[in-house]
Structure 1
Amino acid sequence: MGKYGVITSFDDDKSSATFAPDSTHITLRMLLSHTSGHEYDWLNILLGKWRASRNEEPWTGPTIEHKSAIPLVFTPGTGFAYGSGHDWAGKLVEKASGLSLDEFMRIRIWKPLGIESDITFWPSTKDNMKGRMADMSRLDQNGNPPAVDASGYDIMFGATDCIGGGGVYCSTKAYYTFLSAVLRRDPKLLTSQSHDELFRPQLNKECEQALNDYIALSPAHTNFLGQRIPASVRKTWSFAGLIAKEGQEGRFERGTAFWAGVANTVWFIDREAGICGTAFCQLLPPLHPPVIALHEEFQRGVFEKAKEARVD
């Protein structure tokens, strides 16, 4: 359950938030499907004001507790908001296994796939990785080139915890190895039943509508979450990520999964077409529309090649 309850309003004159008490137990399923009521504070105006009233910056501090022990934005299980559910889920894995999330994933995922030398939460501590780290670059305040060096940017904002929702560093080859293993339902990763569950839509009608409304809430929400998928294509959520419930001509089939990272890294798994792909860059601002447009063209190119291969 949430530590503070559900934030309902903020009085600017008094610099004070109002909360509704809530005792709903948050489940792992809620955390993994973004229906727990957690939302990243940098996406929510009320949470941003609450942080400021406490002289705190959004999503800062060394631990997940520092970053994400914040008010909920709705009663768990009744809506959708993009937040720290996977970060908390990672902490549960650590609690249940007695291992760090880095070590758990090394044993259960990375080593079986032969990619343990190219993926970790802590590349600066690995002699074979720290010299291969790509520096970040940044476009200007209007998102225009040329890009300039942003190597001082800390994408983890001071984290010393493993951040389950987005803290892994890896090579493109290693990530594609993982992605393709998921596409072909590699038994080294999951049982057949668990592979089915990974892509099964997790949202009921209320939460699915909340997701689609949430994506359309503002240009920022659309840019961060929409993946340039038309608003006319109904979307839902699975443990794997965003799911398009319908296909888009020349780009993907029904049931394709998508997601992305802050530095304009994007991946997709189209199980109907039998293809997957990812393209990495290290560029700010996050999920910049012109860059995401390039990702869309990449997806269309892969889809076309797959179609040609099927014809041949």
Structure 2
Amino acid sequence: MADQIEKVYEEAIKTRLLPGVSLIAGDKDGNIIYSKSFGRLSSKEDRDLPFTEDTVCAIASMTKLMTAVASLRAVEEKLLDLDTDTRPLLPEMGKYGIITGFDDDKGEGTFVPDSTPITLRMLLSHTSGHEYDWLHPLLGKWRASRNEIPYGGPTVEHKAVLPLTFKPGTGFAYGLGNDWAGKLIEVTSGLSLEDYMHSRIWKPLGIENDISFWPNTKESMRDRRADMSTLDANEQPPAVDGSFFDLSFGTKDCLGGGGLHASGKAYFTFLSAVMRRDPKLLTPESYTELFRPQLDEQCEQVLNDYIAQSPTHTNFLSHRIPASIRKTWSFAGLIAKEGQEGRFAKGTTFWAGVANTVWFIDHETGICGSTLCQLIPPLHPPILELHAQFQRQIFEEVRKR
């Protein structure tokens, strides 16, 4: 197993498709099955340091799983409720109503007012009507008409106060629900999301020195940060320095949808704890809710249609799972309703981060794994295929046992 994994990643490092990466996988008993890092943490010539399991990366949307866990902890503490309307706590949310069109001549959007309750359950399952503005053409035009950039601005409100794209609870769109969920935790707990996660998740797991929304303020993390790298305009190697690219687009808020920085070891410690349903984090009932499919039949069909909507949607959301495999959604992430031969079993949960970081939890097989690197373009297919091969090798090794 190790030889096959190392062969594909060493070739990627050699061709400079990938500057550096850290891989970790483990089983349901907390044992490490495989752990190895490759390459360098930077494409800069004057920063020739190895990429290790302690290298700190921007994990982008891999933050969403942690925000979901924090949200369920807040529900346990009776700070929040999954099915209560959250609009009174977040009065700016959804204030524009639903965008239905855009008049290019006037440079104006058309809207339908909407006051449908938006619940925490909807926010965590992407059924709230929110969608990332860079994924939806009408939202892109609306942003441009206001001289704003997609996902721009320093606060959650700047990024997430957008027109809705459908009536809450009736569809699926990948969007800013977890950012709003993080803001709900802050409003109801009186703590920053950083401090809430620190006390409820990071410190109990012993990873508090290896994960943060603000790594540059942490002496223990600052010098271990990987630099972003980028491929050329044709998305071809060699990778070069891309440290100019800011995944948070200038935020000053904790972004529950994508703002965390973590080492590979720290994130895997969290991932493994979640797979094993560690009682330090949540109750058994909350773990059941975390992994339970949240979509009704209508919303599940919208999800599958949404993934097939365009090559961009397929690349960002399918995790290289065949279209023939039906998918649904949990608070944790994407669920494959059937297994894929040689790669994962039925019910496996997945998600990723824009800089080509990926995690999976295969509940039936009893394995989980994460891969951390720092490369754009986002979710680049050749890199995702490397990570899928890593998953296959771990899956086959455990099945042999």
By how many angstroms is 1:125 displaced? 0.2
Partner of 1:293: 385
Letter of the structure 2 residue corresponding to residue 289 of structure 1: P
CA deviations over 1:113-164 (Å, ceiling 9, x no partner): 0100100100000011011100000011221101110112111100000000
Partner of 2:158: 66
Partner of 1:201: 293
1:106-185 equivalent positions in 2, closer than 5 A: 106-185=198-277
Partner of 2:284: 192
SS of the residue corresponding to residue 335 of structure 2 reads strand
1:47-62 equivalent positions in 2, closer than 5 A: 47-62=139-154
Letter of the structure 1 residue corresponding to residue 231 of structure 2: L
CA deviations over 1:184-239 (Å, ceiling 9, x no partner): 11000110111111100000011000000000000000011010000000000001
Partner of 2:52: none
Partner of 2:28: none
1:1-312 equivalent positions in 2, closer than 5 A: 2-309=94-401
Letter of the structure 2 residue corresponding to residue 241 of structure 1: G
Q: Higher relative contact order at CA 8 Å, sep ≥6: structure 1 or structure 2?
A: 2
Letter of the structure 2 residue corresponding to residue 48 of structure 1: G
Letter of the structure 1 residue corresponding to residue 113 of structure 2: P
SS of the residue corresponding to residue 258 of structure 1 reads strand
CA deviations over 1:10-45 (Å, ceiling 9, x no partner): 111111110011110100000000000000001110
Q: 1: distance between equivalents of 2:285 and 2:146? A: 46
Dislocated runs of 4+, deviation >4 Å: none
By how many angstroms is 1:7 displaced? 0.3
Aligned residues: 309
Q: 2: distance between equivalents of 1:274 and 1:176? A: 15
Partner of 2:5: none
Q: 2: distance between equivalents of 1:175 and 1:252? A: 21
SS of the residue corresponding to residue 47 of structure 1 reads helix
Q: 2: distance between equivalents of 1:159 and 1:292? A: 27
Q: 2: distance between equivalents of 1:68 and 1:166? A: 12
In structure 2, stretches of 5+ residues that fail to align are 1-86, 88-93
SS of the residue corresponding to residue 153 of structure 1 reads coil
Letter of the structure 1 residue corresponding to residue 218 of structure 2: K
SS of the residue corresponding to residue 314 of structure 2 reads helix
Q: 1: distance between equivalents of 2:255 and 2:128? A: 17
Q: 1: distance between equivalents of 2:259 and 2:295? A: 25
- Paired-residue identity, %: 71
In structure 1, stretches of 5+ residues that fail to align are none
SS of the residue corresponding to residue 181 of structure 2 reads helix
CA deviations over 1:249-306 (Å, ceiling 9, x no partner): 0000011000000100000000100000011110000101111111110110010111
Q: 2: distance between equivalents of 1:71 and 1:296? A: 35
Q: 1: distance between equivalents of 2:282 and 2:115? A: 33
Q: CA RMSD in A?
A: 0.6
By how many angstroms is 1:166 displaced? 1.1
Q: 2: distance between equivalents of 1:142 and 1:191? A: 48
Q: 1: distance between equivalents of 2:148 and 2:264? A: 35
- Compute the TM-score of the two structures, normalised by the length of structure 1: 0.98
SS of the residue corresponding to residue 111 of structure 2 reads strand
By how many angstroms is 1:50 displaced? 0.5
- Compute the TM-score of the two structures, normalised by the length of structure 2: 0.76
Q: 2: distance between equivalents of 1:240 and 1:184? A: 14
